[in-house]
Chains A and B, each alone.
Chain A
Amino acid sequence: MKIIALDSSGLVASVAYLEDGKIKGSININYQKTHSQTLLPMLDEMVKTLEIDLKDVDYLACANGPGSFTGLRIGVATIKGLGLSIDKKIVDVSTLEALALNWPGADGIVVPIMDARRSQVYAAGYSFEGNETRPVKVIEEVNCELSVLIEKLNAMGRKVFFTGDGVPVYKDMIKQSLKVPYVLPNAANAYQNAANVAVLAEIYAGEGLAKKAADISPVYLRKPQAEREREAMQGQQ
Protein backbone atom coordinates (compact mmCIF):
# COMPACT_ATOMS: atom_id res chain seq x y z
CA MET A 1 0.00 0.00 0.00
CA LYS A 2 1.30 3.45 -0.97
CA ILE A 3 0.34 6.46 1.14
CA ILE A 4 1.24 10.15 1.06
CA ALA A 5 0.61 11.75 4.44
CA LEU A 6 0.85 15.24 5.83
CA ASP A 7 0.44 17.07 9.11
CA SER A 8 0.38 20.85 9.54
CA SER A 9 -1.74 20.98 12.68
CA GLY A 10 0.90 22.64 14.83
CA LEU A 11 4.29 24.34 14.60
CA VAL A 12 5.76 21.61 12.41
CA ALA A 13 4.96 21.12 8.75
CA SER A 14 5.50 17.47 7.91
CA VAL A 15 5.11 15.20 4.88
CA ALA A 16 5.79 11.48 4.61
CA TYR A 17 5.58 8.64 2.12
CA LEU A 18 4.84 5.08 3.19
CA GLU A 19 5.11 2.04 0.96
CA ASP A 20 4.08 -1.40 2.24
CA GLY A 21 4.78 -0.81 5.90
CA LYS A 22 7.96 1.18 5.33
CA ILE A 23 8.48 4.94 5.59
CA LYS A 24 10.50 5.69 2.46
CA GLY A 25 10.80 9.37 3.15
CA SER A 26 9.67 12.22 5.30
CA ILE A 27 10.41 15.92 5.65
CA ASN A 28 9.75 17.89 8.82
CA ILE A 29 10.18 21.62 9.09
CA ASN A 30 9.80 23.68 12.25
CA TYR A 31 10.43 27.17 10.95
CA GLN A 32 8.73 30.55 11.11
CA LYS A 33 7.49 30.49 7.50
CA THR A 34 3.78 29.73 7.20
CA HIS A 35 2.68 26.22 6.30
CA SER A 36 1.07 27.76 3.26
CA GLN A 37 4.54 28.57 1.93
CA THR A 38 6.32 25.37 2.99
CA LEU A 39 3.95 22.42 2.89
CA LEU A 40 3.35 21.94 -0.84
CA PRO A 41 6.99 22.67 -1.87
CA MET A 42 8.05 20.04 0.71
CA LEU A 43 5.59 17.54 -0.70
CA ASP A 44 6.89 18.25 -4.20
CA GLU A 45 10.49 17.81 -3.02
CA MET A 46 9.64 14.43 -1.50
CA VAL A 47 7.72 13.30 -4.57
CA LYS A 48 10.64 14.23 -6.84
CA THR A 49 13.36 12.70 -4.62
CA LEU A 50 11.49 9.43 -4.18
CA GLU A 51 10.35 9.45 -7.84
CA ILE A 52 6.76 8.92 -6.77
CA ASP A 53 4.20 8.76 -9.55
CA LEU A 54 1.07 10.29 -8.03
CA LYS A 55 -1.06 7.96 -10.16
CA ASP A 56 0.35 4.94 -8.26
CA VAL A 57 -0.48 6.26 -4.80
CA ASP A 58 -3.29 4.29 -3.13
CA TYR A 59 -4.34 6.74 -0.42
CA LEU A 60 -3.73 10.23 0.86
CA ALA A 61 -3.70 10.91 4.59
CA CYS A 62 -3.75 13.92 6.86
CA ALA A 63 -3.95 14.90 10.51
CA ASN A 64 -7.47 16.28 10.82
CA GLY A 65 -7.24 17.90 14.25
CA PRO A 66 -7.28 19.11 16.83
CA GLY A 67 -4.68 21.81 16.31
CA SER A 68 -4.13 25.38 15.19
CA PHE A 69 -7.31 26.24 13.26
CA THR A 70 -5.45 27.84 10.38
CA GLY A 71 -2.64 25.28 10.30
CA LEU A 72 -5.14 22.44 10.23
CA ARG A 73 -7.05 23.97 7.37
CA ILE A 74 -3.91 24.51 5.28
CA GLY A 75 -3.16 20.79 5.55
CA VAL A 76 -6.72 19.62 5.11
CA ALA A 77 -7.37 21.97 2.16
CA THR A 78 -4.14 20.75 0.55
CA ILE A 79 -5.10 17.09 0.91
CA LYS A 80 -8.67 17.75 -0.30
CA GLY A 81 -7.39 19.58 -3.40
CA LEU A 82 -4.87 16.86 -4.12
CA GLY A 83 -7.48 14.16 -3.51
CA LEU A 84 -9.79 15.74 -6.07
CA SER A 85 -7.11 16.24 -8.72
CA ILE A 86 -5.54 12.76 -8.54
CA ASP A 87 -8.84 11.08 -7.66
CA LYS A 88 -7.69 9.30 -4.50
CA LYS A 89 -9.47 8.62 -1.24
CA ILE A 90 -8.28 10.18 1.99
CA VAL A 91 -7.70 8.73 5.43
CA ASP A 92 -8.06 11.40 8.10
CA VAL A 93 -6.38 10.67 11.38
CA SER A 94 -6.61 12.32 14.80
CA THR A 95 -3.63 14.60 15.43
CA LEU A 96 -3.51 13.35 19.02
CA GLU A 97 -3.57 9.68 18.07
CA ALA A 98 -0.76 10.26 15.58
CA LEU A 99 1.24 12.06 18.29
CA ALA A 100 0.78 9.04 20.57
CA LEU A 101 2.96 7.05 18.16
CA ASN A 102 5.87 9.19 19.37
CA TRP A 103 5.99 6.71 22.31
CA PRO A 104 5.15 3.36 20.68
CA GLY A 105 4.84 0.54 23.16
CA ALA A 106 5.25 2.80 26.21
CA ASP A 107 4.44 1.05 29.47
CA GLY A 108 1.96 3.56 30.86
CA ILE A 109 -0.31 6.25 29.44
CA VAL A 110 0.88 8.27 26.47
CA VAL A 111 -0.52 11.79 26.78
CA PRO A 112 -0.15 14.16 23.83
CA ILE A 113 -0.80 17.75 24.90
CA MET A 114 -1.14 20.56 22.40
CA ASP A 115 -1.12 24.20 23.49
CA ALA A 116 -4.64 25.58 23.02
CA ARG A 117 -3.72 28.95 24.65
CA ARG A 118 -5.45 30.56 27.65
CA SER A 119 -3.95 27.85 29.95
CA GLN A 120 -5.84 25.20 27.98
CA VAL A 121 -4.71 22.14 26.08
CA TYR A 122 -6.01 19.72 23.50
CA ALA A 123 -5.20 16.33 24.93
CA ALA A 124 -6.04 12.64 25.05
CA GLY A 125 -4.57 9.51 26.64
CA TYR A 126 -3.50 6.27 24.96
CA SER A 127 -2.00 2.96 25.97
CA PHE A 128 -0.36 0.23 23.93
CA GLU A 129 -1.61 -3.29 24.50
CA GLY A 130 0.56 -6.34 23.81
CA ASN A 131 2.39 -6.09 20.50
CA GLU A 132 -0.10 -3.72 18.88
CA THR A 133 1.21 -0.71 16.91
CA ARG A 134 -2.10 0.96 17.27
CA PRO A 135 -2.77 2.94 20.43
CA VAL A 136 -5.88 2.30 22.50
CA LYS A 137 -7.66 5.41 23.70
CA VAL A 138 -7.94 5.55 27.50
CA ILE A 139 -8.73 9.28 27.86
CA GLU A 140 -11.12 10.86 25.34
CA GLU A 141 -9.93 13.77 23.22
CA VAL A 142 -10.64 16.97 25.14
CA ASN A 143 -10.11 20.71 25.09
CA CYS A 144 -9.67 21.58 28.78
CA GLU A 145 -7.58 23.36 31.40
CA LEU A 146 -4.34 21.51 32.01
CA SER A 147 -5.22 21.24 35.71
CA VAL A 148 -8.29 19.13 34.87
CA LEU A 149 -6.14 16.73 32.88
CA ILE A 150 -3.52 16.51 35.63
CA GLU A 151 -6.18 15.67 38.20
CA LYS A 152 -7.39 12.84 35.98
CA LEU A 153 -3.84 11.52 35.47
CA ASN A 154 -3.19 11.61 39.24
CA ALA A 155 -6.36 9.60 39.80
CA MET A 156 -5.38 7.00 37.17
CA GLY A 157 -2.08 6.41 38.95
CA ARG A 158 -0.07 5.19 35.94
CA LYS A 159 3.23 6.46 34.58
CA VAL A 160 2.70 9.20 31.97
CA PHE A 161 4.64 9.69 28.73
CA PHE A 162 4.12 13.23 27.43
CA THR A 163 4.53 14.50 23.90
CA GLY A 164 3.31 17.51 21.90
CA ASP A 165 3.92 21.24 21.65
CA GLY A 166 2.12 21.82 24.95
CA VAL A 167 5.04 20.23 26.84
CA PRO A 168 7.51 23.16 26.74
CA VAL A 169 4.65 25.56 27.54
CA TYR A 170 3.36 23.64 30.57
CA LYS A 171 6.35 21.67 31.90
CA ASP A 172 6.62 23.75 35.11
CA MET A 173 2.96 23.19 35.90
CA ILE A 174 3.36 19.47 35.22
CA LYS A 175 6.35 19.36 37.59
CA GLN A 176 4.39 21.13 40.33
CA SER A 177 1.10 19.25 40.19
CA LEU A 178 1.59 15.80 38.69
CA LYS A 179 2.01 13.19 41.42
CA VAL A 180 2.60 10.11 39.26
CA PRO A 181 5.93 9.29 37.54
CA TYR A 182 6.27 10.87 34.10
CA VAL A 183 8.67 11.27 31.17
CA LEU A 184 9.03 14.32 28.92
CA PRO A 185 9.87 13.88 25.23
CA ASN A 186 13.25 14.59 23.68
CA ALA A 187 13.89 16.89 20.71
CA ALA A 188 12.99 14.16 18.22
CA ASN A 189 9.68 12.86 19.60
CA ALA A 190 8.07 16.04 20.88
CA TYR A 191 6.22 17.12 17.76
CA GLN A 192 3.85 16.06 15.01
CA ASN A 193 5.30 13.81 12.35
CA ALA A 194 3.47 12.81 9.18
CA ALA A 195 5.17 9.38 9.33
CA ASN A 196 2.93 8.62 12.32
CA VAL A 197 -0.11 9.74 10.31
CA ALA A 198 0.93 7.40 7.48
CA VAL A 199 1.34 4.44 9.85
CA LEU A 200 -2.17 4.91 11.26
CA ALA A 201 -3.60 5.59 7.79
CA GLU A 202 -2.30 2.24 6.57
CA ILE A 203 -4.20 0.50 9.38
CA TYR A 204 -7.39 2.52 8.83
CA ALA A 205 -7.31 2.18 5.05
CA GLY A 206 -7.09 -1.60 5.56
CA GLU A 207 -10.28 -1.33 7.62
CA GLY A 208 -12.06 0.53 4.83
CA LEU A 209 -12.12 3.88 6.61
CA ALA A 210 -10.86 6.03 3.71
CA LYS A 211 -13.25 8.80 2.63
CA LYS A 212 -13.95 10.88 -0.45
CA ALA A 213 -12.09 14.22 -0.49
CA ALA A 214 -15.40 16.10 -0.26
CA ASP A 215 -16.23 14.35 3.03
CA ILE A 216 -13.08 15.32 4.90
CA SER A 217 -13.57 17.99 7.55
CA PRO A 218 -11.26 19.13 10.38
CA VAL A 219 -12.12 18.23 13.97
CA TYR A 220 -11.45 21.39 15.99
CA LEU A 221 -12.63 20.33 19.48
CA ARG A 222 -13.41 24.01 20.07
CA LYS A 223 -16.14 26.25 18.69
CA PRO A 224 -15.28 29.64 17.17
CA GLN A 225 -15.10 32.40 19.78
CA ALA A 226 -18.05 34.29 18.28
CA GLU A 227 -20.21 31.17 18.54
CA ARG A 228 -19.22 30.54 22.16
CA GLU A 229 -19.95 34.16 23.09
CA ARG A 230 -23.30 34.04 21.35
CA GLU A 231 -24.26 30.85 23.18
CA ALA A 232 -23.15 32.35 26.50
CA MET A 233 -25.33 35.41 25.87
CA GLN A 234 -28.32 33.27 24.97
CA GLY A 235 -27.72 31.23 28.14
CA GLN A 236 -27.94 34.40 30.24
CA GLN A 237 -31.22 35.51 28.69
Chain B
Amino acid sequence: MADINILAIESSCDETAAAVVRNGREVLSNVIYSQIDLHTLYGGVVPEIASRKHIDKINQVVEKAIADSGMELKDMDAIAVTYGPGLVGPLLVGVSFAKALAYGANLPIIGVHHIEGHICANYIANKELEPPFMCLIVSGGHTHLVKVADYGKYEILGKTEDDAAGEAFDKVARAIGLGYPGGPKIDKVSKSGNPEAIKFPRAKVGGSEYDFSFSGLKSAVLNYLNTASMNNETIVTEDVAASFQQAVIDVLVGHSMEALSQYGFKKFAIAGGVASNSGLREAFEKACAERQIEFFLPPPILCTDNAAMIGSAAYFEYISGVRHGLDLNAVPNLKLGERVN
Protein backbone atom coordinates (compact mmCIF):
# COMPACT_ATOMS: atom_id res chain seq x y z
CA MET B 1 0.00 0.00 0.00
CA ALA B 2 1.21 3.50 -0.81
CA ASP B 3 2.31 5.71 2.08
CA ILE B 4 -0.26 8.12 3.46
CA ASN B 5 1.21 11.48 4.48
CA ILE B 6 -0.92 13.85 6.51
CA LEU B 7 -0.22 17.47 7.42
CA ALA B 8 -1.87 18.11 10.78
CA ILE B 9 -2.63 21.34 12.62
CA GLU B 10 -3.45 21.81 16.30
CA SER B 11 -4.52 25.08 17.99
CA SER B 12 -7.08 24.09 20.62
CA CYS B 13 -5.42 25.85 23.55
CA ASP B 14 -2.12 27.73 23.86
CA GLU B 15 0.15 25.76 21.53
CA THR B 16 0.27 26.52 17.81
CA ALA B 17 1.42 23.25 16.29
CA ALA B 18 1.83 21.54 12.93
CA ALA B 19 3.30 18.19 11.93
CA VAL B 20 3.63 15.79 9.03
CA VAL B 21 2.91 12.16 9.92
CA ARG B 22 3.32 9.10 7.68
CA ASN B 23 0.95 6.16 8.04
CA GLY B 24 -0.15 7.28 11.47
CA ARG B 25 3.06 6.19 13.18
CA GLU B 26 6.07 7.92 11.66
CA VAL B 27 6.66 11.60 12.47
CA LEU B 28 8.37 13.43 9.60
CA SER B 29 8.17 16.81 11.32
CA ASN B 30 6.71 18.16 14.55
CA VAL B 31 6.69 21.91 15.16
CA ILE B 32 5.26 23.45 18.33
CA TYR B 33 5.12 27.15 19.11
CA SER B 34 4.31 27.43 22.81
CA GLN B 35 2.72 30.61 24.14
CA ILE B 36 3.23 29.62 27.75
CA ASP B 37 5.39 32.63 28.69
CA LEU B 38 2.64 34.96 27.53
CA HIS B 39 -0.04 33.28 29.65
CA THR B 40 2.20 32.91 32.71
CA LEU B 41 1.63 36.66 33.29
CA TYR B 42 -2.07 35.93 33.80
CA GLY B 43 -1.76 32.70 35.80
CA GLY B 44 -3.52 30.70 33.09
CA VAL B 45 -4.51 30.65 29.44
CA VAL B 46 -6.38 33.77 28.27
CA PRO B 47 -8.45 32.65 25.24
CA GLU B 48 -8.40 35.99 23.38
CA ILE B 49 -4.65 36.39 23.80
CA ALA B 50 -4.14 32.78 22.67
CA SER B 51 -6.30 33.34 19.59
CA ARG B 52 -4.32 36.43 18.60
CA LYS B 53 -1.05 34.60 18.95
CA HIS B 54 -2.29 31.61 16.95
CA ILE B 55 -3.21 33.72 13.94
CA ASP B 56 0.12 35.55 14.03
CA LYS B 57 2.17 32.32 14.16
CA ILE B 58 0.19 29.74 12.22
CA ASN B 59 1.77 30.31 8.80
CA GLN B 60 5.32 30.16 10.16
CA VAL B 61 4.57 26.98 12.12
CA VAL B 62 2.87 25.20 9.21
CA GLU B 63 5.52 26.31 6.70
CA LYS B 64 8.24 24.97 8.99
CA ALA B 65 6.43 21.66 9.46
CA ILE B 66 6.20 21.23 5.69
CA ALA B 67 9.84 22.23 5.16
CA ASP B 68 11.12 19.97 7.98
CA SER B 69 9.27 16.99 6.52
CA GLY B 70 11.30 17.27 3.29
CA MET B 71 8.04 17.15 1.38
CA GLU B 72 5.85 19.71 -0.34
CA LEU B 73 2.24 20.59 0.37
CA LYS B 74 1.14 18.98 -2.91
CA ASP B 75 2.67 15.65 -1.81
CA MET B 76 0.27 15.37 1.16
CA ASP B 77 -2.71 13.04 1.08
CA ALA B 78 -4.83 15.09 3.46
CA ILE B 79 -4.89 18.03 5.85
CA ALA B 80 -6.03 17.31 9.41
CA VAL B 81 -7.05 19.74 12.11
CA THR B 82 -8.26 19.61 15.71
CA TYR B 83 -11.90 20.79 15.69
CA GLY B 84 -12.67 20.13 19.37
CA PRO B 85 -12.78 20.03 22.28
CA GLY B 86 -10.97 23.19 23.32
CA LEU B 87 -11.23 26.97 23.40
CA VAL B 88 -13.47 28.18 20.60
CA GLY B 89 -11.37 31.19 19.51
CA PRO B 90 -8.12 29.25 19.23
CA LEU B 91 -9.87 26.27 17.57
CA LEU B 92 -11.43 28.53 14.92
CA VAL B 93 -8.03 29.85 13.84
CA GLY B 94 -6.76 26.33 13.16
CA VAL B 95 -9.99 25.10 11.57
CA SER B 96 -10.40 28.14 9.26
CA PHE B 97 -6.76 28.07 8.25
CA ALA B 98 -6.64 24.30 7.66
CA LYS B 99 -9.82 24.25 5.58
CA ALA B 100 -8.56 27.04 3.30
CA LEU B 101 -5.17 25.34 3.03
CA ALA B 102 -6.83 22.08 2.02
CA TYR B 103 -9.17 23.88 -0.38
CA GLY B 104 -6.36 25.70 -2.17
CA ALA B 105 -4.25 22.54 -2.41
CA ASN B 106 -7.26 20.45 -3.49
CA LEU B 107 -6.77 18.02 -0.60
CA PRO B 108 -9.34 16.40 1.71
CA ILE B 109 -9.82 17.92 5.17
CA ILE B 110 -10.21 15.73 8.25
CA GLY B 111 -11.37 17.10 11.59
CA VAL B 112 -9.83 15.35 14.58
CA HIS B 113 -10.88 15.08 18.24
CA HIS B 114 -8.15 16.52 20.46
CA ILE B 115 -8.34 13.76 23.10
CA GLU B 116 -8.32 11.03 20.46
CA GLY B 117 -5.13 12.69 19.29
CA HIS B 118 -3.61 12.40 22.76
CA ILE B 119 -4.46 8.68 22.86
CA CYS B 120 -2.92 8.19 19.39
CA ALA B 121 0.38 9.71 20.58
CA ASN B 122 0.92 6.20 21.92
CA TYR B 123 0.78 4.73 18.40
CA ILE B 124 3.68 7.00 17.45
CA ALA B 125 5.71 6.21 20.55
CA ASN B 126 5.05 2.45 20.42
CA LYS B 127 4.92 1.12 16.87
CA GLU B 128 3.65 -2.29 18.01
CA LEU B 129 0.74 -0.98 20.11
CA GLU B 130 -2.62 -2.01 18.73
CA PRO B 131 -6.13 -1.85 20.22
CA PRO B 132 -7.78 -3.00 22.34
CA PHE B 133 -6.23 -1.35 25.37
CA MET B 134 -7.14 1.03 28.15
CA CYS B 135 -5.91 4.62 28.24
CA LEU B 136 -5.89 7.33 30.91
CA ILE B 137 -5.82 10.86 29.49
CA VAL B 138 -4.76 13.49 32.02
CA SER B 139 -4.21 17.11 31.07
CA GLY B 140 -5.04 20.67 32.03
CA GLY B 141 -8.50 20.37 30.54
CA HIS B 142 -9.29 16.65 30.65
CA THR B 143 -9.27 13.58 32.86
CA HIS B 144 -10.68 10.54 31.07
CA LEU B 145 -10.32 6.81 31.59
CA VAL B 146 -11.06 5.31 28.19
CA LYS B 147 -11.50 1.89 26.67
CA VAL B 148 -9.91 1.91 23.19
CA ALA B 149 -11.94 -0.84 21.50
CA ASP B 150 -10.43 -0.30 18.06
CA TYR B 151 -8.82 2.47 15.98
CA GLY B 152 -11.25 5.39 16.25
CA LYS B 153 -13.58 3.50 18.62
CA TYR B 154 -13.67 4.74 22.19
CA GLU B 155 -15.76 4.20 25.28
CA ILE B 156 -15.45 6.46 28.32
CA LEU B 157 -15.25 4.45 31.54
CA GLY B 158 -14.67 7.38 33.86
CA LYS B 159 -14.15 11.13 33.76
CA THR B 160 -13.78 14.02 36.14
CA GLU B 161 -16.92 15.44 37.71
CA ASP B 162 -15.32 18.83 38.30
CA ASP B 163 -11.70 19.98 37.85
CA ALA B 164 -9.35 18.23 35.46
CA ALA B 165 -6.23 16.80 37.12
CA GLY B 166 -4.00 19.44 35.50
CA GLU B 167 -6.36 22.20 36.60
CA ALA B 168 -6.03 21.01 40.22
CA PHE B 169 -2.23 21.14 39.84
CA ASP B 170 -2.47 24.73 38.56
CA LYS B 171 -4.78 25.87 41.36
CA VAL B 172 -2.75 24.26 44.13
CA ALA B 173 0.51 25.57 42.65
CA ARG B 174 -0.93 29.07 42.69
CA ALA B 175 -2.03 28.65 46.33
CA ILE B 176 1.42 27.57 47.50
CA GLY B 177 3.12 30.29 45.48
CA LEU B 178 4.74 28.15 42.79
CA GLY B 179 2.95 29.87 39.90
CA TYR B 180 1.90 28.70 36.46
CA PRO B 181 2.07 26.09 34.95
CA GLY B 182 1.43 24.10 38.11
CA GLY B 183 2.10 20.55 36.92
CA PRO B 184 5.84 20.69 36.22
CA LYS B 185 6.46 23.00 39.21
CA ILE B 186 4.70 20.76 41.73
CA ASP B 187 6.36 17.68 40.22
CA LYS B 188 9.78 19.30 40.69
CA VAL B 189 9.45 20.44 44.30
CA SER B 190 7.65 17.20 45.26
CA LYS B 191 10.92 15.34 44.77
CA SER B 192 12.31 16.97 47.94
CA GLY B 193 9.06 16.69 49.92
CA ASN B 194 7.43 13.98 52.01
CA PRO B 195 4.35 12.55 50.25
CA GLU B 196 3.11 11.13 53.59
CA ALA B 197 3.45 14.41 55.50
CA ILE B 198 -0.16 15.54 55.14
CA LYS B 199 -3.16 13.24 54.72
CA PHE B 200 -5.23 14.74 51.92
CA PRO B 201 -8.47 12.95 50.92
CA ARG B 202 -8.66 10.39 48.08
CA ALA B 203 -12.06 11.22 46.68
CA LYS B 204 -14.59 8.61 45.68
CA VAL B 205 -17.51 10.00 43.75
CA GLY B 206 -21.14 8.97 43.75
CA GLY B 207 -21.67 8.52 40.01
CA SER B 208 -19.73 5.96 38.01
CA GLU B 209 -17.18 4.00 40.02
CA TYR B 210 -14.38 5.17 37.73
CA ASP B 211 -15.25 8.88 37.75
CA PHE B 212 -12.84 11.35 39.32
CA SER B 213 -13.21 14.46 41.46
CA PHE B 214 -10.38 16.83 42.25
CA SER B 215 -12.12 19.93 43.56
CA GLY B 216 -12.49 18.41 47.05
CA LEU B 217 -8.80 17.66 47.15
CA LYS B 218 -8.00 21.19 46.03
CA SER B 219 -10.27 22.59 48.80
CA ALA B 220 -8.58 20.34 51.36
CA VAL B 221 -5.20 21.78 50.39
CA LEU B 222 -6.53 25.35 50.62
CA ASN B 223 -8.10 24.58 54.05
CA TYR B 224 -4.83 23.09 55.26
CA LEU B 225 -2.94 26.23 54.17
CA ASN B 226 -5.49 28.55 55.83
CA THR B 227 -5.52 26.62 59.10
CA ALA B 228 -1.74 26.38 59.22
CA SER B 229 -1.31 30.08 58.61
CA MET B 230 -3.96 31.01 61.22
CA ASN B 231 -2.15 28.84 63.78
CA ASN B 232 1.18 30.36 62.75
CA GLU B 233 2.49 26.92 61.78
CA THR B 234 5.32 26.68 59.29
CA ILE B 235 4.12 25.53 55.87
CA VAL B 236 6.61 23.24 54.16
CA THR B 237 5.85 23.87 50.48
CA GLU B 238 7.67 20.71 49.39
CA ASP B 239 5.59 18.55 51.73
CA VAL B 240 2.29 20.14 50.68
CA ALA B 241 3.22 19.67 47.01
CA ALA B 242 4.37 16.08 47.49
CA SER B 243 1.33 15.12 49.60
CA PHE B 244 -1.07 16.70 47.12
CA GLN B 245 0.62 15.04 44.15
CA GLN B 246 0.54 11.68 45.92
CA ALA B 247 -3.21 12.04 46.53
CA VAL B 248 -3.79 12.71 42.80
CA ILE B 249 -1.56 9.81 41.80
CA ASP B 250 -3.23 7.38 44.22
CA VAL B 251 -6.66 8.13 42.77
CA LEU B 252 -5.52 7.96 39.13
CA VAL B 253 -3.58 4.73 39.65
CA GLY B 254 -6.27 3.20 41.87
CA HIS B 255 -9.13 3.77 39.43
CA SER B 256 -7.05 2.66 36.46
CA MET B 257 -5.90 -0.59 38.09
CA GLU B 258 -9.43 -1.49 39.24
CA ALA B 259 -10.80 -0.87 35.75
CA LEU B 260 -7.99 -2.89 34.13
CA SER B 261 -8.77 -5.81 36.36
CA GLN B 262 -12.54 -5.57 35.89
CA TYR B 263 -12.36 -5.32 32.08
CA GLY B 264 -9.48 -7.78 31.78
CA PHE B 265 -7.15 -5.57 29.72
CA LYS B 266 -3.50 -6.53 29.51
CA LYS B 267 -2.35 -3.25 27.93
CA PHE B 268 -2.52 0.20 29.51
CA ALA B 269 -1.42 3.59 28.18
CA ILE B 270 -1.36 7.12 29.52
CA ALA B 271 -1.54 10.37 27.55
CA GLY B 272 -1.96 14.14 27.92
CA GLY B 273 0.13 16.89 29.46
CA VAL B 274 -0.01 15.52 33.03
CA ALA B 275 1.30 12.16 31.72
CA SER B 276 4.70 13.92 31.71
CA ASN B 277 4.58 14.07 35.52
CA SER B 278 7.49 11.96 36.71
CA GLY B 279 5.79 10.85 39.93
CA LEU B 280 2.79 9.65 37.95
CA ARG B 281 4.91 7.81 35.39
CA GLU B 282 6.84 5.98 38.11
CA ALA B 283 3.68 5.03 40.01
CA PHE B 284 2.08 3.57 36.87
CA GLU B 285 5.24 1.71 35.87
CA LYS B 286 5.31 0.05 39.29
CA ALA B 287 1.58 -0.71 39.46
CA CYS B 288 1.53 -2.20 35.95
CA ALA B 289 4.68 -4.26 36.55
CA GLU B 290 3.14 -5.78 39.68
CA ARG B 291 0.11 -6.89 37.69
CA GLN B 292 1.93 -7.98 34.51
CA ILE B 293 0.17 -5.26 32.56
CA GLU B 294 2.06 -3.95 29.55
CA PHE B 295 2.50 -0.20 30.12
CA PHE B 296 2.78 2.39 27.33
CA LEU B 297 3.55 6.06 27.62
CA PRO B 298 4.58 8.69 25.09
CA PRO B 299 7.70 10.82 25.59
CA PRO B 300 6.96 14.32 27.02
CA ILE B 301 7.13 15.98 23.57
CA LEU B 302 4.14 13.85 22.51
CA CYS B 303 2.30 14.36 25.82
CA THR B 304 2.10 18.13 25.54
CA ASP B 305 -0.35 19.50 22.95
CA ASN B 306 1.18 18.75 19.56
CA ALA B 307 0.06 18.14 15.99
CA ALA B 308 1.88 14.82 15.43
CA MET B 309 -0.74 13.10 17.57
CA ILE B 310 -3.47 14.76 15.47
CA GLY B 311 -1.78 13.46 12.32
CA SER B 312 -1.76 9.96 13.79
CA ALA B 313 -5.46 10.05 14.74
CA ALA B 314 -6.26 11.52 11.31
CA TYR B 315 -4.57 8.61 9.55
CA PHE B 316 -6.94 6.09 11.13
CA GLU B 317 -9.87 8.36 10.23
CA TYR B 318 -8.53 8.71 6.70
CA ILE B 319 -8.27 4.98 6.05
CA SER B 320 -11.76 4.46 7.45
CA GLY B 321 -13.05 6.98 4.90
CA VAL B 322 -13.74 10.01 7.10
CA ARG B 323 -13.72 13.33 5.18
CA HIS B 324 -15.10 16.66 6.33
CA GLY B 325 -16.71 19.42 4.28
CA LEU B 326 -15.70 23.05 3.75
CA ASP B 327 -18.31 23.90 6.38
CA LEU B 328 -16.39 22.09 9.15
CA ASN B 329 -16.82 24.13 12.31
CA ALA B 330 -15.05 24.24 15.66
CA VAL B 331 -16.94 22.23 18.31
CA PRO B 332 -15.62 23.41 21.72
CA ASN B 333 -17.41 20.69 23.71
CA LEU B 334 -16.98 17.82 21.24
CA LYS B 335 -17.44 14.50 23.05
CA LEU B 336 -14.99 11.65 22.85
CA GLY B 337 -15.97 9.23 20.10
CA GLU B 338 -18.47 11.74 18.69
CA ARG B 339 -18.31 12.68 14.99
CA VAL B 340 -19.81 16.03 13.93
CA ASN B 341 -20.53 17.13 10.30
Contacts and interface: CB of A to CB of B under 8 A. Distances in A.
Interface of A: 34, 36-41, 43-44, 54, 69-70, 73-86, 213-214, 217-218, 220, 224-227, 230
A77 B92 contact: yes
B253 interface: no
Interface residues of B, number: 37
Given A36-B95, A227-B49, A82 B327 contact: no
A54 B104 contact: yes
Given A34-B329, A69-B48, A226-B48, A85 B96 contact: no
B46 A224 contact: yes
Interface in B1-47: 41-42, 46
Contacts of B172: none
B96 A86 contact: no
A43 to B, nearest CB: 8
Nearest to B41: A230
Contacts of B103: 40, 43-44, 81-82, 85
Given A69-B48, A85-B103, A214 B63 contact: yes
Given A73-B55, A85-B73, A37 B49 contact: no
**Chain B interface SS verdict (over half):** helix
A230 B39 CA distance: 12
B48 A81 contact: no
A74 B327 contact: no
Given A82-B103, A86-B104, A226-B42, A70 B327 contact: no
Given A69-B48, A224-B52, A78 B329 contact: no
Given A36-B330, A40-B96, A40-B99, 9 more contacts: A69-B89, A73-B55, A77-B58, A77-B93, A78-B99, A81-B100, A85-B100, A217-B56, A224-B49
Contact of B48 (A38, A83, A224): A224
A73 B89 contact: yes
A94 to B, nearest CB: 17
A8 to B, nearest CB: 9
B51 A73 contact: yes
Contacts of B63: 84, 214
Contact of A77 (B46, B73, B96): B96
Given A34-B329, A54-B104, A230 B42 contact: yes
B92 A78 contact: no
B55 A36 contact: no
Contacts of B220: none
Contacts of A37: 327, 329
Nearest to B99: A40
Given A36-B92, A226-B48, A218 B100 contact: no
B97 interface: yes
Contact of A78 (B42, B73, B96): B96
A226 B46 contact: yes
B248 interface: no
B62 interface: yes
26 contacts: A34-B329, A36-B327, A37-B327, A40-B103, A69-B89, A73-B51, A73-B55, A73-B92, A74-B92, A75-B96, A77-B94, A77-B97, A78-B96, A81-B104, A82-B100, A83-B59, A84-B101, A85-B101, A85-B103, A213-B59, A214-B59, A214-B63, A224-B48, A226-B42, A226-B46, A230-B42
A220 B49 CA distance: 12
A83 B88 CA distance: 23
